[in-house]
Chain A
Amino acid sequence: MSIDAELDELRREVERLRGILPEQVDVDPEGVEHVLAKLVLVLVEFLRKLLERQAVRRMEGGTLSDEEVERMGLALMRLEQKVHEMARAFGLDPSELNLELGPLGRLV
């Protein structure tokens, strides 16, 4: 799957989560749902960072036009904003979303 397609899919998933979580989830910081929401956000953040890394590699590879780089950058920037907004809505600082997955996980 191309990066654009992956980005689109991730963006749709994030939008879907935004739709689901505030309605069905008790945003009580002590609630079970809060713990589960955090797990979901951690995974989404991990995927987001992975995609970002792939995108930058492609840019470094010199195969993207200026227009594509600009579009990709904007999409990634917006995705970061959305995920971090969701985290804050759950009382989480975005830096808390770092999932330790050993050598794989320490992307940033």
Chain B
Amino acid sequence: MTELTAEDTSLLELVDRLLNKGVVLAGEATISVAGIDLIYLGLNVVLAAVETIEKAQERRAS
């Protein structure tokens, strides 16, 4: 079992709220890359996926 510090916990709770809670204005939102909507698996996954896809596109363009 990992030792989660109070600081880690607080950050996790905050990030969870920022990415997974709050008003959802779906349909108008979502991050899309080159017009392709990404499967919404939680914004943290989407953010990671966006970084990966954009890097791949950059490399192909170069």
Direct contact between the two chains A and B in their complex (CB within 8 A): yes
Q: List 18 A-B contacts (CB under 8 A).
A: A30-B52, A30-B55, A30-B56, A30-B59, A31-B52, A31-B56, A32-B52, A32-B53, A32-B56, A34-B52, A35-B48, A35-B49, A35-B52, A35-B53, A39-B39, A39-B41, A99-B41, A100-B42
A contact residues vs B (CB 8 Å cutoff): 30-32, 34-35, 39, 99-100
With A and B bound together, what is the CA distance between A43 and B49 in angstroms?
16
User: Chain B contact residues: over half helix, strand or loop, or mixed?
Assistant: helix
User: B5 to nearest A CB, angstroms?
Assistant: 20
With A and B bound together, what is the CA distance between A32 and B42 in angstroms?
18
Closest to A34 in B: B52
